[in-house]
Structure 1
Amino acid sequence: MNLKYEVIPEGRIELCKDLCNELMAFQKSKAYIKPELFDDMNFDTRMIPSIQSATRNYTVVVKDNDQPVAYVYANISPKETYSNDFATFFDPDSVKGKDVGCLSQFYIKEGYREYGIGSTLFNMSIQWMKQFNDVEEYFIFVSNGNHNALDFYKRKGFNVSHDILDGFITVLRNNKQSC
């Protein structure tokens, strides 16, 4: 493997398109609660709107010989962003300040897992979020059935806060001081 980690600007976000679409298919394959909700989820319906609604965006693509094999997308967004027609992800009154950090999308292709890529991308994202002094709360949303991701985030210090949409998504939460 010849891995290269590249922070990409919003203007090059298309580099994540195939990986994002693979992530949505992967999540659907794992889901046992409402898998049909993933039918309309893809790069254009998930990533692009998230980037547009965020205050700040951070995307890292991992390439193996110029072939994208993993990515992470994190953002800083107004807490109100997470109360929309789809769901209310957390009680906005429970958050200090006006913005939250979110590790929003995270995917590693089969065959590249178990090599430390996930820990590296996770650490890069947390360090990026920590630079914003006015952001105290961090969230991760894990789709049902993705037990490996849930366990990974717990090992990294995130705690299960609650489930939404009848268990379709598990909300994990942490704060700046605990990361």
Structure 2
Amino acid sequence: MKLTYEILPADQAVQCRELCNELMIYQKSKAVIKPELFNTMNFETRMLPSIESALHNHLVAVKDGDEMIGYVYTNVSPKTAYSNDFATFFDLNSVSGDQVGCLSQFYIKDGFRQYGIGSKLFEMSMEWLRQFNQVEDLFIYVSNGNKNALEFYQRKGFVVTHDILGGFITVLRNRKCR
């Protein structure tokens, strides 16, 4: 493997379209609660709206040679962005500031997992989030059935706080380490 990590500007997010769509298929394959909700989730309905509503975006792609094999998308958004027609993701009053950090999407192609790529992408995201002094609360949302992701984030210090949408999504939270 010849891995390279590249920070992509938000206007080049389209480079992650195929992987984002693979992520939605993967999440649906793992889901035991309402897998049909993933039928309308894709790059255009998930990543693009998130990028547009965020105050700050951070997108890192990882390649093996010329092949894109994974990515992580992290953002800083107003906390009010997490209360919408789809769901209220956390108690807005429990967040000390007006902005939150979110590791929003994370995907590594099958066959490339278990080589430390996920840990490297995760650390790059957390390092980026640390620069925002006004952000204290960090969130990660894990789709139901994705036990490996849930355990990964817990090993990284995130704690399950609650489920939303009848268990469709598990909410994990951490206070930012400075």
TM > 0.5 between the two?
A: yes
Q: Which secondary structure does the structure 2 equivalent of 1:50 belong to?
A: helix
Structure 1 residue 167: Cα displacement? 0.2
Task: Confirm whether residue 19 of structure 1 aligns to residue 39 of structure 2.
Answer: no
What is the 5 A alignment of 1:22-171?
22-171=22-171
Structure 1 residue 176: Cα displacement? 1.0
TM-score, normalised to structure 1, is 0.98
Q: Report what 1:10 is aligned to.
A: 10
| Paired AA for residue 166 in structure 1 | G
CA RMSD of aligned residues (A): 0.7
CA deviation digits over 1:25-58, x for unaligned, max 9? 0000000000000000000000000000000000
Aligned identity (percent) is 66
TM-score, normalised to structure 2, is 0.99
Instruction: Number of aligned residue pairs: give it.
Output: 178
Structure 1 residue 12: Cα displacement? 1.0
Structure 1 residue 147: Cα displacement? 0.1
Structure 1 residue 10: Cα displacement? 1.2
Query: Structure 1 segments of 4 or more deviating over 3 A?
Result: none
Alignment partners' CA distance in 2, 1:176 and 1:144: 25
